[in-house]
Each structure stands twice: as structure tokens, then as C-alpha cells.
Structure 1
Amino acid sequence: MQNNFNNEINNIPVFIYGLLEEDERRNYMRIYRKQLRDSQNPFEMPEVEFIKTFRLNQDLTRILIEWLEPHAGIRRRTTKLPFYLEVLATLNFLGTGSYQHSVGSCTWVAMSQPAISRSLKKVCRLVTGLLMPEWIKFPTTMEEKTAIKGGFYEKFGFRGAIGCIDGTHVEIITPPITDVDHPPHVYIDRNGVHSINVMLICDSNCKILACDARFPGSVHDSAIFRVSDIRNNLRMCFENGDDTSWLIGDSGYGQEPWLFTPIPVVAPGSPQERYNQLLRSTRNPIERTNGILKGRFRCLIKHRVLHFHPVQAAYIIYAASTLHNIALWANLALEEDEIVVENDEGNGDNAVGIVEPEQNCFNLGRAARENYIRRNIIQ
């Protein structure tokens, strides 16, 4: 019945259409626009073009839609956008970094700016709430830690590493001056722009193990780690006898028993210098992870400012990080020339404002580092 009605109304001559009542005319245009939008199927695109447009391949995108759609809510209006178009519009925005009106004018996802905004908010929150807990997990069991340690040792020869940690900045627009919970001045980072400082931890294969996008750009990397649940977990494990598991960080972090950092001053040719060199090469996955993440989802790269409130910007970051891990799971590689290199990432070797651990923790960390050098670095 409905199909027959659609066929009939689409065949109305122009002169008769002009005689329709206002409600009938509006209903006719809604049906026409919906049919026009659905007439072009994005899944009929060549695979290469599809990946370039949506950053995931067609099979993985279908799987993503199947995972999310049962939780997308009941459609109360027959003219509401199909959920797959909402997902595609979100992927297009995340991947291209284009502003919403550019995504809306895409041939394959012809949607208005308000529709894009609603879809982006909806899909990113679904990915964060439903998929992030399953796809971004920090190792807590001995089996999980052992597997990650094996990956780092096989690739870099560093024993005991269960992850690399660093901060990366994602620029955002200035929050409203009236927002007492997100005052604009705290989002100004060391480069003088408004940003979110995102804590990332990855394994040797560039899989993200932790992502924290709650803190403004003025907060130092070490301060974010200091108050994180992960640090509390590592400390508890250390106190319970696990003294052979540690993160790898740069000198923007304070040395702790569960977090190894470079030694500031070393003699040429000494075991300490070789330790620094080994630590630097072992940290390479976190820099590559950040480059792959921002290369695939270019809305996060420097100068592609997220025009969203910090809360929504955080959801975008979490969704992109989750989809990064899903793409790795599907062996969806990124071309080397697409990997982003941002030279000002993190706080680096000349960092200021480091939040040092308490003295006893620092002493235990320094002793653990020296013990590692004695046991594992050739004299």
C-alpha cells in the first residue's frame, strides 16, 4: 500500500502538485527527498573510494552498523534518516576533518548541517558507550601483561614493558566564557591555543590500551597520569608484588617504580646511555600510534580545530580511538604517507611543570631503573 502511494505521489504532474494543500505538498517533498537520498547507495562505491571517503572498508562499516543499530533508539518519524547514513556521515566527518557543511554536501551523504551535527553526537556517544569498554582495555591480568611484554621484547628487546604513554593535544574552539565547568582560560595550552590534552597508552602493535580526554590543554602530561585510575592500579600491583611491569614514558613524566623514563645526564658509552637509547626506540609505538590515529581520523590533526564543546570533543576523540583499534583488528592498514607527524607532541625532554611523584616513590623508581640497567644492559 505504502509503495503504491509513493509511486502515485511521485507521478503527480507539476501543475497538479501546485494545487495540493500545504500539508500534502510538504509530505510529497519529504518523500521525494528521502527517495532521492536513498537512490545513491554508498556501498556501491569502489572499495578504494569508499575507504578514502569513510576511512573504513565496506565490510567493517557494515559490521559497525550492525553493532550499533540495535541501540540507536526507536524511529518515531518515517522521514527520519536511516541509521546507516548517520554512521557514514560520522565516519566521513571523523576521517576528512571537513566542517559539517562540507560533509553534508558530499554526494554520498547529502545531509543538512543540523542533521550531521545530530548524527555525529549520536554515533560518537554510541561508539564510546557501547564499544570503547570492549575495545580499549588496559591489561590487568598476568596473562594480558605477559602477552604485551612479549611484543615489546620481541620488537625492541626491552623487558617488562606493558605500554607506552604520552600526551597529545587536540585543538578545540574557545569554550563559552559563561561555562563555569569549562572556563576557557584553562584550555589554553603551551602553544597559546585552546586544546584538550589526551593521555594515550599503547602496546607494541600501536593498539590503544587507554585514552583519557577529560583534561584541558593547560594540564601537564604527568598531572593527568598522576590522578589516573591506571596509575592507582599500577601502584596497587606493585605493592602486591608485581615489580616487573612498567610503562615507558619520556622525560615529561617523573620516574616511578611502574613508569620508566630517560636518565637526564649520562656519560657517553655508558650503560645509562644505552638504556636511554633502548628506551627511546621502545617509545616509538606511541608516536606511531598518534600518527596513525590522526592520519586516519584527520579531524584530530593540528589546526583542524574541533568546533565543539569540550564534552562533545571528548566523545569524538574516544570514538576515533575506538575505531582506530577496530581498524587494527580488521588489518586495515594506513598508507605511510598518510601517517601524521606532529613535532610538538607531548611535553618532551625540555618539559616544564612536571608533577613529580612523592619522594619515596621517586627513590623506589630510581632504584628500579638502576636495577634494570644492571640486569639487562650489557656493561
Structure 2
Amino acid sequence: MALESCIAFLLADELDAEEYALFGPKAPVITRRIRDDDDNDDDGGEGDRDDGDKNYFSATVPSLSVLDFQKYFQLTQTQVEELVRLLSPCEWATSKLEGWTVTHAVLASLWTLSTLEPHVSVAARFHTNEAIICHQLNEFCSLVMTNFVDKIRWPKWKEAEVSVSGFSSSIGLPGTLCVVGSCVIPIERPTDVTDPEAYQDSENAYSVNLMTFCDHKGCFTFVTAEHPGSWHNSKVFLETEVGRSLQDDPLNLLHGKHIIGDATFPLSEHLLTPFPDYGTLGEKKLRYNLKVGSALKIVHGSLYSLRSRFQRLRCLQMNTITQTSLAVKTCCTLYNMYLETNNVDVECLEEHSIVQEPFHELPNGHSGSLGGISKRQDIAASLGRKPKKDSPKTYGRQWYDV
């Protein structure tokens, strides 16, 4: 197979020093043995430490099983081939390097995003230099976001109906279109913003807030990763396209449905949050909160799975918000592609949401809009109630009729 042949060739030869000049100062060519750090099969023989085993990775990868291939590169072999096919017509700077093809670029970039291996080690593993790995990763992310923009899309029409039906049947919350959550992505001090210290937290670490919206399957429907990690979720939300659309034209965005979020978001008839629990909630409100918690596990599970599969997000070695946002969105795009062939059991995944004060306890916070308060109470009151035949409960534009 062409892909297997390319993988085998990928590590067979080092690039000439003259070709490194395309990417600035030449990095040292690392000729040490390249081994698979994730391989636990070590018989302790001297042959494993012999210099003749430098091509261990190139000899092993082509023989990977279907499951192992996806473990290392996150996507199936067919999906990787599709990536290569669609990205081949694009202009790649690395295409000027003799023997370095689009397949090499895609595989090396997927490996870089999937591991926390230092760039210099990735370069050694792929028999190239660190400058090429870094430059190529930025190029890969840019091309993926340009050519696969439809992989992250807001649910409309049939997709919206499927998501609402999915939340209703699996969680028991009618009228829910999406669920929103967030996590912090560590970054280096940004150099492309006017106030880089705004991205610094109380521990002097820099980060961005990754805010995502998910459908009932945990598929990302909207992603933003450009605002400071120190910002409160409610502030980030208002700065997103979704937040602005809910203020300007909520009907066009939601068609009478709503989003589910945690207590850090402002309650409205378009974004429902849990009831504040001070130990006096009744049975129906507690049941409602449990269902909201189940919905939130979907987005928290997706964020956990995203960072587990694309571990580079735990230590992005990028110093601009533009590059950071591009890399994060690329990982989310690839994750959605991963979900096309895999199911993630979000119930078994640990939550990684940002620990923040509830919105209603902020100095500028409030308990919610009248429409949101009324809608939340109506849903809580309806839980456990048997629906009447041919008479769905309505609220405004029949957000109950799913």
C-alpha cells in the first residue's frame, strides 16, 4: 500500500543539510537509534541497543494493526489517506524537500499533536530537523482548518433535530440543542497581543480558555480558543460568536431550543443552568440538576478525551495566540473525525472544567432572566410527568416538541 511504503521510507534517510536551509539555521542531525517509546516489548538483548536498529520505527509502523495505527495517529488509515488526498494539491513549503511528501508531513504532524514528545525528539524519530517539524506543524494546522472547516459546524435542520432528540432520549432534557463547557490550555507568553499579561494567571502561568459546544454525541459544534484562561466563562461566552448571536438573533441560532451550561454561565431562556443548591432543593429540582449534570458530562468528557488523544494541548510550545488557536481548533477538527469511526463513553471520563465562581455570585452577576427562570422551573416541574398524547407541552415556539 502507498501509505505503508511512505511510512517505511519516512525514516529511511535523513534530509540533506542544504535542504535544511529552507527553514533557517540548520539544526543538528540526530543519528542516535530511534526507538518507539511506547513499545513495552523489551527482551533486554544487545540487539535492541545496536546502532543497526536506527530504523526501528520505520520497520514497525508499516506492520501496525488497525487499532495500533489509530492509537499512534488517532485517525484510521483510510482517514489519513483522505487527509493526504485532499491536502496534496495545497502549497506545502516542505514539498521542496527531496523525498519529503505530503504523507510524510501529515504523519509527522499527527504524531506531534498526539504526543508530548519534544519537537527535537519528534525530528529525530522522523529523521529530519526540529525547525521543519515546527514549521510543518503550523502549516498542517492552517491547511486542515482551511480544507476541513465543515467538520466543526453548528447543528441546523436535520442535524439539529437529531441532537435535540438525542439529548431528550439519553438525558431526558427536552429542547436541548447543545451543551457548553471549557478547560484551560497552557501556552507560552504570547507575543502577538497588546497585553500578554492578561493571559497570565495567579500562578504566573499563561493559558487560553478553550470553550466548546457539543451535540448529544460529544461532537464539537463550535470552538473558540483565543481568550485568556484567567477570564470567567461568562465573559468568554459573551465574546464568542454564539454568545453574540444569542443576544442579536437567538431564534435564527436556536429555533426555539436552548443550550445547557454549568453555573458559571448566565441563566436565560436560551442557556439553562442548574438550580443553586443550598441544601433545600425539592425532588424535582434535584432531578433536573442531575440531568443537567449528565448533559455536562458529555462536553467535559469530550474535552478530557480531546486532551488525552492530542496530548500536545497539555504543553503547546507556541508563543502566539494565532498559532495556538489554530492548533487547538485543528485538534478539535481531528477529534470530530475520530468520532466518525469511534464512540467515546463520556460517563467514564473525568471532568476537566474550569473551577470558577457561579455567575450569580459575581459582583456583576444576577440570578437569571425572567424567561430563563420560568423555563427552568417549567422543565423541572415536568420531569417525571407522563406526556399527554398528541398534546406536547409548549413554551413560546414549542421548544418541548422534539
Per the shorter chain, which TM-score range? Answer: 0.7 to 0.9
Aligned match for 2:130, one of 113, 118, 122: 113
Distance of aligned partners of 1:289 and 1:95 in 2 relative to their CA distance in 1, 3 Å threshold: same
TM-score normalized by the length of structure 1: 0.77
Q: Could you tell me how far 1:317 is from its partner in structure 2?
A: 0.3
Distance of aligned partners of 1:242 and 1:340 in 2 relative to their CA distance in 1, 3 Å threshold: closer
Matching residue of 2:160:
145
CA distance in 1, matches of 2:385, 2:194: 50
- RMSD after superposition: 3.4
CA offsets 1:262-319 (integer angstroms, 9 cap, x no match)? 1113624432222111211121101110111111101113xx3434322111111011
CA distance in 1, matches of 2:59, 2:249: 52
- Residue 183 of structure 2 contacts residue 209 of structure 2 at CA under 8 Å; is this kept in 1? yes
Distance of aligned partners of 1:240 and 1:99 in 2 relative to their CA distance in 1, 3 Å threshold: closer
Matching residue of 2:295:
282
Matching of residues 1-379 of structure 1 within 5 Å: 40=58, 44-47=62-65, 48-73=67-92, 77=96, 79=98, 81-106=100-125, 109-131=126-148, 133-141=149-157, 143-176=158-191, 179=192, 181-189=193-201, 192-235=204-247, 238=250, 244-265=256-277, 267-301=280-314, 304-331=315-342, 341=350, 343=352, 345-348=353-356, 350=358, 353=362, 356=365, 362-378=369-385
Q: Secondary structure at the match of 2:162?
A: helix
Q: Could you tell me how far 1:74 is from its partner in structure 2?
A: 7.9
Q: Secondary structure at the match of 2:89?
A: helix
Q: Could you tell me how far 1:80 is from its partner in structure 2?
A: 6.7
Q: Could you tell me how far 1:43 is from its partner in structure 2?
A: 6.1
- Letter of the 1:286 counterpart: V
- Letter of the 1:372 counterpart: I
Distance of aligned partners of 1:208 and 1:199 in 2 relative to their CA distance in 1, 3 Å threshold: same
| Range moving further from structure 2, 269-278 or 288-297 | 269-278
CA distance in 2, matches of 1:297, 1:355: 36
Unaligned 5+ residue runs, structure 2?
1-16, 22-30, 32-53, 387-402
Distance of aligned partners of 1:241 and 1:318 in 2 relative to their CA distance in 1, 3 Å threshold: closer
CA distance in 1, matches of 2:215, 2:207: 25
CA distance in 1, matches of 2:177, 2:146: 25
Unaligned 5+ residue runs, structure 1?
1-21, 27-32
Q: Percent identity?
A: 22
- Residue 265 of structure 2 contacts residue 358 of structure 2 at CA under 8 Å; is this kept in 1? no
Q: Could you tell me how far 1:57 is from its partner in structure 2?
A: 2.5
Q: Secondary structure at the match of 1:70?
A: coil
TM-score normalized by the length of structure 2: 0.73
Q: Could you tell me how far 1:198 is from its partner in structure 2?
A: 1.0
- Letter of the 1:277 counterpart: L
Q: Could you tell me how far 1:187 is from its partner in structure 2?
A: 0.6
CA offsets 1:232-253 (integer angstroms, 9 cap, x no match)? 3345554579674111100010
Matched positions, count:
333
CA distance in 2, matches of 1:371, 1:272: 10
CA offsets 1:169-226 (integer angstroms, 9 cap, x no match)? 10001224xx5x2422111135542101011011121111110112121222111211
Q: Could you tell me how far 1:167 is from its partner in structure 2?
A: 1.4
Q: Secondary structure at the match of 2:178?
A: strand
- Residue 271 of structure 1 contacts residue 373 of structure 1 at CA under 8 Å; is this kept in 2? yes
